[in-house]
Structure formats: C-alpha cells, structure tokens
Amino acid sequence: MGGLGISFSFGCSSGLSKGFGSRLASLTEAVSEASSWIEAGASSGQSGFGWYDLPEQDTSGIEDAARWLSGYEAIIHAGIGGSALGNLMLHQALLPMYFNERPGVPKFYLADNPDPEKTAAILEMARGRKTALIGVSKSGATAETMSQFLWFRSKLEGIADGDILVITDPSGGVFRAYANAGGCRSLEIPPSVGGRFSVLSACGLVTAGALGADIRAVLEGASEMKNFLRGRKSPEDNPALKLAAVSYLHSIDGRPMTVLMPYSSRLETFAEWFAQLWGESVGKDGVGSTPVRALGAIDQHSQVQLYTEGPDDKLYTIIGLDSRGAEVELPEVTDESLSSLSYLSGRKLGEMLGYEAASTASALVKAGRPVVWIELGRLDPRTLGGLIFFYEYTTAAAGRLLRINPFDQPGVEQGKRYTYGMMGREAYKADAEEANELFKKVKSGALKI
Amino acid sequence: MGGLGISFSFGCSSGLSKGFGSRLASLTEAVSEASSWIEAGASSGQSGFGWYDLPEQDTSGIEDAARWLSGYEAIIHAGIGGSALGNLMLHQALLPMYFNERPGVPKFYLADNPDPEKTAAILEMARGRKTALIGVSKSGATAETMSQFLWFRSKLEGIADGDILVITDPSGGVFRAYANAGGCRSLEIPPSVGGRFSVLSACGLVTAGALGADIRAVLEGASEMKNFLRGRKSPEDNPALKLAAVSYLHSIDGRPMTVLMPYSSRLETFAEWFAQLWGESVGKDGVGSTPVRALGAIDQHSQVQLYTEGPDDKLYTIIGLDSRGAEVELPEVTDESLSSLSYLSGRKLGEMLGYEAASTASALVKAGRPVVWIELGRLDPRTLGGLIFFYEYTTAAAGRLLRINPFDQPGVEQGKRYTYGMMGREAYKADAEEANELFKKVKSGALKI
C-alpha cells in the first residue's frame, strides 16, 4: 500500500511558549492512559466507542442500498447534526465538485434545517423527479428530522414505502417502529455509535455510495489509520495523541479556540464536520475549546488579519495538499494593460494555493502563533477515511485528557425540553413556564426600528 | 413605511456579570465619541468611511449592468473575501432558495477560491451556456482573483470583451487599466469603500439585481437604518452603539468570541459575511474578538452543547424571525407506529423554529451566558439592507472603542509577500527566503502515515 501519504508536523505547535515541551512531556502518562482507554472501551463494546470498529463493518447492506438509491433521479435526505454533516463532507470531498449537476446521477437535497423556506425549496427542486426519501435519526425521535420526514412523505408525488429508507438504531425509536410496521427499507446505526461519530456507518456511507464514491476505499483508509495508531501510546509516535495533548495544553493555556483551515474547497465541509465532532464532544463541564472552521485561501481575505494580529488565543491546524485532482494552468498574459500580471503566466493554480498555505503557516509562526501542519499527498477516498478516523481518535483522546465524557451531550437537553414545552407537550409544561419567563427577560427593553 | 420591523433586545446581554451596567455606563462618553467619529469621517469623505454613503448612491449604472447580465445563461463571478461573500449573502437572503435552478434566470457560479478543482468544476458547469464573466477586485491586483479571471477569459468559448464586466477602483489598478484599454464594461467601487464594506456598492448589488433581487429596496432599508442611527449618541437609543459597547466589554472581559446565530437558512451566509466584516475590522494590535458563525436550528445539534456547558467565553447574538416567506404545515400523523409524534400533527415548521430560537436563548441565559436578541418581523430586501448597515455601523464603532483602525488590514500583507516571493517575483526574494526558513520549521519532524 505504501501508507496513506498523510504527514503530521508539530514543529511549531507550541508557538513561542516557553516550557511547552516539558509540559507536553509531563502529560506522557495521561496520554498513554487515554490511548488504553480508547482501545479498552472499544474492545469491550462500551457505549460511545462503536466508531472504533466501523472500519471493519460488513458493508453489504450499505452497498445494496446505495445501488438501489442510485436508480432514483433525486434523493431527499432528512437529518440534522451528525445525521447530515458527514454526508455533505463525504460528497464534497469525494465526488466531482459539480456532482449535483451530473447527468445520470441522482440530485441530492439535504433537509438539514426545519426552516420552512428551505424545506419548501427542496420540494420544489425535486418536483418532477422520481425521488427517494431518507430519514436519519439515531434515536428516532429528533423533532426537526421527524417533522421534515413526515412532510416530505406527505408531499412527494407518488411516493410509496418502497421509496423510503430510514437509518436508525437497530431496536429502539420511532423510525425503527415505522420500518418494522410499514416495510420501508432500513439500515442501522450501531447502538454504540453516537451521531457525531456516525459518518462511517450507513448514515454517511449510503448516500456517498449512491452518488458514486468508493466507500470501501474510505473504510480501508480508516482501517489503515486505525492500525497505525493502535498500540502507539506516546505522542512521539502517535500523531492523534500528540494533537490531543497539544490541543489540551493550549486550551488550558489561554487559547480557547482551535482553528482548522484546509487549503482545498473539497475540504470546506470537512472543517464543519470537525467543528461538530469537536465542539459537542469536548465542550462540557466548563471546559473544552471552540472549533473555528476556516478555508484557505478564502479566509486569508477574511480571518487571517485577526489570526496574525488579533489576540494570541488560538491553535491553528492547516491542511495542505501536495497534488490535486485537476490542474488549472494560467494562460500567457499578452495584453499590455495586464502586463503587471505577467508573473502569473503559465503558473498553476494548485501551485499558487500550495504557496499560500505555506505562506499563511509561516506568517502565523512569525507572529508567534502555534501551528500544526497536516499534509495530504493526495485527497482520495483512502486518505479521507484515514483523516476521519484520525480526528475521531484525536477528539476522544482530547476528551479523556479533559476528564469529560466525549460521547454524551447533556447540554442540548435543556433547549429540547423548552421547545417541547412550547410546542404544548404535556410532560414539559414546567419547562415551558421556565422558558417563557427567561425569554421574557431576553426580550425585555426591546428597541424597535 | 412604519419602520423596518427590526427589534433589538439587550435584556440578557450582560449574562450574570456583576457591575456590567455601571461599566457600560462608564463607556457613555467613548460611545458618543465613536458615533461622532463615524459621522464626521463620512461627511469629510475620509478613506474607509465610504460605506456610510452607499445607501444614497446613484444606482443607474448598477441597474443597467444588472439588466444586461440577466440576459446571460450563466454568470461566473471571480472575486474573493469582500468581493465575493456579500454576493452570496444577498443571493441567499433575497432570492428564492432554489435560485440557481430557476428556468430563465442565469446560473451563478462564484469563483472565490483559487482551487484548481473548484475552478475547473465551474467551467464544466457553465459549458454550453452563454456566459458573462465578472472580475471584482478593489485594488485590481488580488492574485487569486486575477488568476481565475485570466483563466476563465482564456477558456470560455466565444467570450468577447462585451461579455466581461470588471468592478474595481475608478482610477487605479490593473482591472481599471484593462477596462480602459479593452472596452469591457466596468463599474466602480468608490475609493473610500473598503472591500469588506462594499456589499452595498456595485460589488454586491449587480449580481443580486441580475438574478432578480430588489436592490433599490435593499438600499432604502439601509438608508432608513442610517437615518435612525444618525445623531443618536447614547447606547440607550442607538442599538448599534449598544451592541458595539457590549461586544467591547465582553471582549476585554474574558469572552474573546462573539457568536452570530440566525434562525433562518436564508441568513446562513449573512453570518459568514459578518464574520469577515468583524474579524478583519477589529482583529489587530492584539485586540479584537473572534466571530463565530452558527445557524439555527442546525447548530443546536452541533455547537449548543459547547455553548451551554463549555467555558463561559462567548457573547451570543441570536436572530429570530417573526414570519417567513413560505410555510410548511405538517400533516396529521395517522400511522400507529408514529403515534408518539402526534404532537407534530398540524404544526408549522416556522412556529417550531421560532420556539427553538427562544429555547436556545433561554437555555443560554439559564446557563448564565450573555445573549443579545435581534428579531426581524420579516426578512425582505428592506430589513436585510437595514441589518447590513446596522452591522457595518456596529463594527466601525467597536473598532473605535478598541482604539484600532477598523478600515485597514495590515496583517494580511505578510502572507501576500511570502506568496509573491515563492511565486518568484523578484522584489520579494528576501520574503521568500524568510518564508522558506519558517516553513522548514513548520514541517520539521513530520510523522508520515
């Protein structure tokens, strides 16, 4: 195989902090323990650790469903958070960048927000196309997803149970009951896999496969990364543990943000997927760092001013690419009026983008900011799978170092109860009263223009 | 007119901080000075203040160009940062959400990243369509934009000078020279308007108009907001000054992030536009807060865990909508297997999304986090124009309170020089050497998988 072709550099991950190296060294034991904790949790099948075993899952059911879906003219995917972001991430990274305009391939519409205007627009776009409907919710109870699913089911012309797929827990929840009762297709998210760790389950893989991505190669790459990391307990030979430790130290050291800035439009949503994975996993009990997603070169014209000259309160990870799937060679500049652009003649965009990534990293280091550099030899299904697994492992380890449970999300329950209460559900009456009191305060003293 | 129908509430903008009110009061003089500074800078035509006068500009040239553009089958817009984000923001907020699939309206492709794969994909999507090419760069020297512009000009079949529009400075720069020499169409970004403040100039308005947005109404709304804010020098009757002051206090008070979370998919890019405006304007001299863009309800399933239970290090602004341009009414739930969802029967998605916004605000307040609430009666061209002007004013005022110049961006120059040097431009040889040294450090000790 010759490896995944991903390299990790932490040469400037400490910025100019004095004593960073010895503080990192003092974490050696905790880091090793985090690694053992992950491996033990996975091998004993504990709740939350199921992502660790997804690379080796049996994909026959997923591939069947992908083949079936690929026969439609459009796919509407109702899901939110972990049941949506991973799909976008896989599609953007693995399919031709005009994938939603390719003849012979289903159009893909993501119903990821219960916004009536977006929801109605999706129905409009699917009109006249033979459409499959997918509903994804691990719990089978997510109000936003359920609402959109119910509405599309009632509105899509000629839709039958045979055009519907639900992806959910194998035994519990409304979606499972519906599949059991009605005979629609269904696939499983294993009980031990949390929503934000589910991209390598049916949740993420089915639609990617239907649209033409090589999902077996994605899993191979994830498996290769897993095998590399397994048993390596020191930050010095396990880059995921090192990134976890470096992130941990910066987060308790006055740098409450972690920026992920890939230099490829194909990885734009990867940064967003990471933001969910990281934010919801480590942000609890008053700790955790805030993920900030960026995109090179675009954010050089948006956020880099702040990054280099604003407060020194972020850790930066830049992802560079060595080669790209397409190249754009600039023409000879012959117009006299454009002569000052002659330095661009015959140059390649990919080359320029590479220089820009290196320049941003260098400018950040010059400004004393900590930088981690990840370089992909190429971006293909295997490297993407490896990168996904790498970040899942890093996130779990970082949670362990922070002494929190990276696999739960207790903090989203309060808002859910308030919403249920406002929607009039009987059991949540007290929540509604509390929410109304608080919301009155929020809106107090409004100034209207 | 009856006003814009936008209300601003700061009832919970202090979180639980003791003494916040008196600290706010102690800023009274500085805030008043910031307001005078903005008005004086604008009326004396100082560099950077030109955004203040855009609402009253003569739009005849812009409208002519928009009419001309609307006759094409596709528009490729080459621009980056302030020359791109505002366009996406206007389109998403003002056009039907499936605007790029509407028959009879030009397809719009944004070439905003010099990524060869994305650039090549755009050419592929435009193939076979009569295409207009727009190049936007205030300075007329932006390497990324110039590269893409040159490439599309050389690759688009049958393109002639008459199919090209450049939007740039009226007197300086390569684009101006090109327009003067070649006879392509051109429009101006006024010299005193910076890129990130240029959305209400030709830069943002032309393509929005071409695709069917009511750009006069956008400017009317901006003008109405401006007239409301003008002369109001106290945070108590000027919500833009109040938001600036509240943001300033939190930023120096251990809350280095400011989250903008609209509850409408149509405002998703608005948050991104704000992030550029805010980050590049206030992030300098070691101060400034980091903009974090979020989207309701999606980020309830991604970031709200961190927001409510992570560190108390953010100011939150939530934008709610009272009414929406489309409504989605859920069907009666009759399936027995779905009976636990009966609480959704006959409910409206817009209503649910409204409850979710209120619930998130309430949950944040319960957790002691500072929340600003902005409510739009409706989202239309006038309210959007008002909101744009409001945030430009707020950003300028916040910069003044931080004692930095909100209209420059010195921190992006270093990276540019490094890139020029790596590209082989003679004058930047020393920069290339410095960058290569630094980049060697960044990549040192790489671990390859």
Q: Do B284 and A310 touch (CB under 8 A)?
A: yes
Choice among B18, B101, B124, B301 that is catalytic: B301
Give the contacts of B31 (CB within 8 A, at least 6 positions apart).
B233, B234, B235, B241, B244, B245, B397, B401
Q: Do A349 and B115 touch (CB under 8 A)?
A: yes
Nearest Cβ partner for A9 among B181, B182, B442: B442
Comparing C-alpha atoms, which of B247, B202, B158, B181 is closest to residue B61?
Answer: B202
Comparing C-alpha atoms, which of A229, A232, A255 is closest to residue A20?
Answer: A255
B280 is catalytic: yes
Scan residues 269-308 of A and list those with Cβ closer than 8 Å to B: 275-276, 279-280, 282-288, 290, 292, 295, 297-298, 300-308
B226 and B207 both lie in a single domain: no
CA distance, residue B357 to nearest chain A CA (Å): 9
Residues of chain A contacting B182 with CB distance shorter than 8 Å: 335, 337
Tell me the average pLDDT across A86-95: 98
A201 and A63 both lie in a single domain: yes
Last residue of a domain, one of A216, A238, A262: A216
Question: Three-class SS string for B182-219?
Answer: HCCEEEECCCCCCHHHCCCCHHHHHHHHHCCCCHHHHH
**Please, are residues B165 and B62 in contact by the beta-carbon 8 Å criterion?**
no
B154 and B280 both lie in a single domain: no
Asked whether residue B2 carries a pLDDT value surpassing 70, the answer given is no
pLDDT of the residue at A166: 98
Question: What number of other Cβ atoms are within 10 A of residue A16's Cβ?
Answer: 12
CA distance, residue B66 to nearest chain A CA (Å): 25
Residues of chain B contacting A12 with CB distance shorter than 8 Å: 441-442
Q: How many domains does chain B have?
A: 2
Q: Which domain holds residue B193?
A: 71-211
Mean pLDDT of the residues in chain B: 96
Nearest Cβ partner for B147 among A125, A325, A349: A349
Last residue of a domain, one of A216, A248, A280: A216
Chain A interface test: which of B91, B117, B317 (most A C-beta within 10 Å)? B117
Residues of chain A contacting B4 with CB distance shorter than 8 Å: 449
B50 lies in a domain? no
Residues of chain B contacting A366 with CB distance shorter than 8 Å: 414, 434, 438
| Interface membership of B160 toward A (CB under 8 Å) | no
Asked whether residue A283 carries a pLDDT value surpassing 80, the answer given is yes
A416 lies in a domain? no
Nearest Cβ partner for A411 among B113, B290, B308: B308
A390 and A260 both lie in a single domain: yes
Q: How far apart are CA A287 and CA A252, in angstroms?
A: 8
Q: What percent of chain A has pLDDT over 90?
A: 95
Largest CA distance in chain A: 75
Q: pLDDT tens, A221-280?
A: 999 999 999 999 999 999 999 999 999 999 998 999 999 999 999 999 999 999 999 999
A82 lies in a domain? yes
B249 and B359 both lie in a single domain: yes
A212 and A222 both lie in a single domain: no
A86 lies in a domain? yes
Q: In terms of C-beta density within 10 A (0-12 exposed, 13-18 middle, 19 or more buried), how is residue A35 classed?
A: buried
B433 lies in a domain? no
A24 and A86 both lie in a single domain: no
Pairing relationship of beta strands A371-376 and A6-12 according to DSSP bridges: antiparallel
Pairing relationship of beta strands B257-262 and B185-188 according to DSSP bridges: unpaired
Asked whether residue A338 carries a pLDDT value surpassing 70, the answer given is yes
Last residue of a domain, one of A216, A240, A271: A216
Q: pLDDT tens, B381-419?
A: 999 999 999 999 999 999 999 999 999 999 999 999 999
A130 and A250 both lie in a single domain: no
Tell whether ipTM is more than 0.85: yes
Q: How confident is the model at residue B182 (pLDDT cuts 50, 70, 90)?
A: confident
The CATH number that applies at residue B228 is 3.40.50.10490
Tell me the average pLDDT across B210-221: 98
Residues of chain A contacting B438 with CB distance shorter than 8 Å: 361-362, 365-366
Q: How confident is the model at residue A2 (pLDDT cuts 50, 70, 90)?
A: low
Q: pLDDT tens, A364-415?
A: 999 999 999 999 999 999 999 999 999 999 999 999 999 999 999 999 999 9
A413 lies in a domain? no
Nearest Cβ partner for B256 among A284, A313, A444: A313
pLDDT of the residue at A16: 76
pLDDT of the residue at A162: 96
Question: What number of other Cβ atoms are within 10 A of residue A14's Cβ?
Answer: 20
A182 and A246 both lie in a single domain: no
B144 lies in a domain? yes
A349 and A364 both lie in a single domain: yes
A204 and A222 both lie in a single domain: no
B354 and B373 both lie in a single domain: yes
B442 lies in a domain? no
